[in-house]
Amino acid sequence: MKFDKNRLKRKADRVAATYDGVAVVPRKMAHRMMDTLQEMNLRPATILELGCATGYLTQLFLDRFPETRVVAVDFSGGMLSVAKEKVEPSHRVRFLEADAEIDDLGEYGPFDLIVSTGLLHWLSDPEAAIRKWTDWLAPKGWIICSAFGIDTVTELRDVVKQVEAEHGIHRPEPALYRSTGEWEEVVRRCGLTKTGSRECWHLLEFPDCRSLLETIHGMGESEFVRPLPFGLDRIVVTEVMRRYNLRYRRRNQVYATCHLLQVYGRKAGREHLREVTAPPV
């Protein structure tokens, strides 16, 4: 699916200053990434972080791996400005404003580990991007991507679809999310080995639906709630919030599903590459 990246970049720049205040889900992704590295017993000397935002995961890398060099990339200059102000020690990290799908970052590698969090669903061609990232890996290097699963805010998406239908609005939902099986197949086609995936679900709580919508907007993840015809937007959003507050209330708060997944794979080592590329005898 193709997005207007200039518009997404402007949106990210606008929310950068307040992003950390609402980035509950990205923080969960970051800590799950660190858990995965520990479970896999990985201690990379060089890390390429794609979509670093304000540097929360970047700081976790520097704290966990005191000898590691990190290249942290984001296409939002606003996000990077916030990251540069708070991430320490600064001499062990290089921040780059670049598009991980388009720009060539191979000159900064090779990397023992390439990670992305919450980036895959914004890519026009994720398979082509992962194939490119694989070229930047050192032999036996790993790619680990965290993404949103298909159950992400399923409650809100259901209410939006229902209310829109009642107002005569019928349009397909953007195909932002894929299953773990679909992502595993993508990384296998990119030539990675030892592929696998993990997923988990969380119920996040908010004071009301308005707070949920503000959080989604504040993280820049509101593409599935697309603009409506003039005059209907306020009517539809008001009804969505009213209905959501009634239907998904627990105790004094409303809840929303957060479905997170990871997909990973390893680049073949030099020995395997020689076996594959050796001419027949």
pLDDT tens digits along 147-206: 999 999 999 989 988 998 998 888 776 667 889 999 999 999 999 999 999 999 999 999
Q: Alpha helix (H) ranges present in 136-232?
A: 154-166, 180-189, 209-218
Q: Alpha helix (H) ranges present in the chain?
A: 5-15, 19-22, 24-39, 56-64, 77-86, 126-135, 154-166, 180-189, 209-218, 233-247, 270-277
- The proportion of the chain whose per-residue pLDDT surpasses 90, expressed as a percent, equals 70
How does pLDDT run across 59-92, given as a tens digit for each residue? Answer: 999 999 999 999 999 999 999 999 999 999 999 9
| Model pLDDT, residue 234 | 81
- Domain ranges in the chain? 5-277
Rounded to 10°, the helix 233-247/209-218 angle is 120
Yes or no: say if 180 and 240 are a contact pair by the CB < 8 Å rule. Answer: no
pLDDT bracket for residue 6 (50, 70, 90)? confident
Mean pLDDT computed over 100-120:
94
Tell whether the model's pLDDT for residue 276 goes beyond 80.
no
How does pLDDT run across 189-246, given as a tens digit for each residue? Answer: 999 999 999 999 999 999 999 999 989 888 877 655 554 444 557 888 899 999 999 9
| Model pLDDT, residue 279 | 36
Give the tokens for residue 230. Answer: 């003039």
Q: What is the pTM of this model?
A: 0.88
- Residue 17 or 177, more confident: 17
- Residue 42 or 10, more confident: 42
- Please name the residue that has the structure tokens 């009634």: 246
Report the CATH fold assignment for 5-277: Rossmann fold (3.40.50)
| Model pLDDT, residue 218 | 86
| Model pLDDT, residue 121 | 84
For the purposes of burial, counting CB atoms within 10 Å of the CB of 223, is it exposed (0-12), middle (13-18) or buried (19 or more)?
middle
Q: Which amino acid is at 9?
A: K
| Model pLDDT, residue 225 | 52
| Model pLDDT, residue 91 | 94
